[in-house]
Amino acid sequence: MSTTTFTNPRAKHNFVGHSCSITGVGSYVPERILTNADLEKMVETSDEWITTRTGIKERRLAAANEFTSDLAAKAAERAMAMAGVTAAQIDLIILATITPDMPFPSTACLVQQKLGAHRAAAFDIEAACSGFVYALDIGARFVESGAHETVLIVGAEKMSSVVDWTDRNTCVLFGDGAGAAVLRHRPGARGLLTATLGSDGSKAGLLELPGGGSACPATAESVAGRRHFLRMDGKETFKNAVQAMVSASNEVLQRCGVSIAEVRCVIPHQANLRILNAVGERLGAVDEQVFVNVARYGNTSAASVGIALDEAVRGGRIRRGDLVLLVVFGAGLTWGAALLEW
């Protein structure tokens, strides 16, 4: 168990509910691997450019008949197995995605059916790459208040369906996958200590998928104009990502009176190795503290932190009682951080 002492921010607000712990994690990535060498055959790029600018070596691509809900259900089943809960025990499913199977019904409802979680309410949230921490903070409220016993959160993306495979600026960055967690009260455990969420809609244009919504419904022109693919101002996004992730991390650490040295594992959104290094450095974390798997999956958006958390737990990087910092950033702009006692 951790010997760290900290302030419980919940107590300041006369919080009287239960604590909320992550009692199981799971992830799933599709089988097909797209390497940098494969990309060299598709656009004018090189393994050397991609590796030095992003740290990404390969990413996973879902099959044509494999959708976001399929990836999500597989990750969820693994998280449920670790938590020892059955589908019938799930009260609520919160699914974070920017690549839903379709605009409606929600992908969460499709996952509810695939899991056979017949008692569960289900809804999607959209906070782009920040989705997993948003889902965690929302889901924890239901457990803490006692409204629900078992909440399943999932971040799942089929980014390959919205990437413009002719745009070398973006197509090298993203991949498909899903990460899931089961949230429950674990007696005696402190679990989620605090979380912070933020957004800045004035910078919405930095990273967007303009077509397909009410502002730009699908037309022959919108398709020809490639408006149904994501677009990004990489340089500005980079700067904002580092700033927001550092300040969100510092906020949750300060709230709990915890120093970065006391955190066993920092799990940042896996967008780009240079972003991860810059965030780690500014937080004063040593390399061993910062979990990195971006080389194998690229940026899987809402799935990224869930996949990384699963790998960190199963790989023995995180043990019961350790302090874990999750920190995310994405389109919106959105950001967030969560500090947990595992």
Ligand X SMILES: CC(C)(COP(=O)(O)OP(=O)(O)OC[C@H]1O[C@@H](n2cnc3c(N)ncnc32)[C@H](O)[C@@H]1OP(=O)(O)O)[C@@H](O)C(=O)NCCC(=O)NCCS
Which positions lie near ligand X, rule CB under 6 A? Answer: 45, 49-50, 53-54, 129, 168-169, 172, 232, 234-235, 237-238, 241, 271-272, 275, 299, 329-330
What is the β-pairing status of strands 176-184 and 151-158? Answer: antiparallel
Listed in sequence order, the residues at least 6 apart from 30 whose beta carbon sits closer than 8 Å to its beta carbon are 60, 61, 62, 63, 66, 71, 176, 177
Q: H helices within 14-166, ranges in order?
A: 36-40, 47-54, 68-83, 107-115, 131-144
Q: How far is the CB of 9 from ligand X (least distance, A)?
A: 27
**Smallest distance, ligand X to C-beta of residue 58, A:** 14
Interatomic CA distance for residues 216 and 207, integer angstroms = 16
129 is a catalytic site residue: yes
Cα distance between residue 193 and residue 257, in whole Å: 11
Residue keyed to tokens 């810059």: 278
- Of 47 and 66, the one with the shorter C-beta distance to ligand X is 47
- Radius of gyration (Cα) for the chain, nearest Å? 19
Identify the three-state secondary structure at position 178.
strand
Nearer to ligand X, 141 or 168 (CB): 168
Active site residue 299: yes
Q: CB 297 → ligand X: shortest distance, Å? A: 13
The values of phi and psi at residue 30, to 5°, are -65, 160
Closest approach of ligand X to the CB of residue 30, in Å: 20
Catalytic residue among 20, 129, 171, 256: 129
For ligand X, which is the closer residue by CB, 66 or 236? 236
By beta-carbon proximity to ligand X, the closer residue of 45 and 277 is 45
Catalytic machinery residues: 129, 269, 299
